[in-house]
């Protein structure tokens, strides 16, 4: 009988989480953007000033999925929120309800922490994910777009006169 459990990520989970980050990037056709290393991931999750958290899902003791998240803040609600950066289930383990269980656990964490909302982004071409999220009760916001500044653009913006 197969067993599945969810727990907070631990330092020994860095290698499988990193491997799944790479798998996710390949799936999203964004592998050219990955600069993540195990060392950087460890620093982000377990360093002196962690900037994010993760939970992992294990099937029979093997890490087969992860969710990486952090808190943001809503000025309208004046409460913190939980932002899901990535949720990934290995291809060979999809269709078993693990994504549902991971998303449910994250919602529980948001409620336990008195968050005003739980949100994430999804690529507009990923119809299966959009359908899954809507089935779970999420609203896909049609009027919002993500704005991002990275690399040279970030440095140039930071150097602009105030």
Catalytic residue among 83, 88, 98, 133: 133
Cβ-based neighbour number of residue 71 at 10 Å: 13
Helix (H, G, I), strand (E, B) or coil at 154: helix
d(CA 149, CA 156): 10
Alpha-carbon separation of residue 53 from 3, 44, 69, 85, 117 (angstroms): 24, 8, 5, 10, 17
The dihedral built from the CA positions of residue 23, 26, 30 and 32, taken in this order, carries a sign that is positive
Kindly compute the dihedral angle of the four CA atoms of residues 52, 14, 40, 47, in this order, to the nearest 10 degrees: 60
Token digits of residue 12: 């020994």
133 given a catalytic annotation? yes
Catalytic positions are 133
């Amino acid at each position: 009988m197969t067993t599945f459990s969810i727990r907070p990520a631990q330092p020994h989970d860095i290698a499988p989480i990193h491997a799944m980050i790479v798998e996710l990037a390949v799936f999203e056709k964004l592998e050219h953007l990955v600069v993540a290393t195990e060392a950087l991931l460890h620093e982000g999750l377990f360093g002196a000033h962690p900037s994010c958290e993760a939970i992992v899902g294990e099937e029979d003791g093997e890490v087969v999925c992860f969710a990486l998240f952090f808190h943001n803040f809503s000025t309208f609600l004046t409460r913190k929120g939980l932002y899901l950066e990535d949720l990934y289930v290995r291809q060979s383990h999809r269709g078993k309800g693990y994504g549902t269980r991971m998303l449910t656990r994250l919602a529980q964490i948001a409620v336990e922490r008195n968050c005003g909302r739980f949100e994430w982004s999804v690529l507009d071409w990923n119809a299966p994910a959009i359908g899954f999220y809507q089935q779970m009760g999420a609203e896909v916001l049609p009027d919002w777009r993500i704005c991002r500044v990275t690399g040279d653009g970030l440095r140039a913006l930071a150097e602009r006169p105030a």
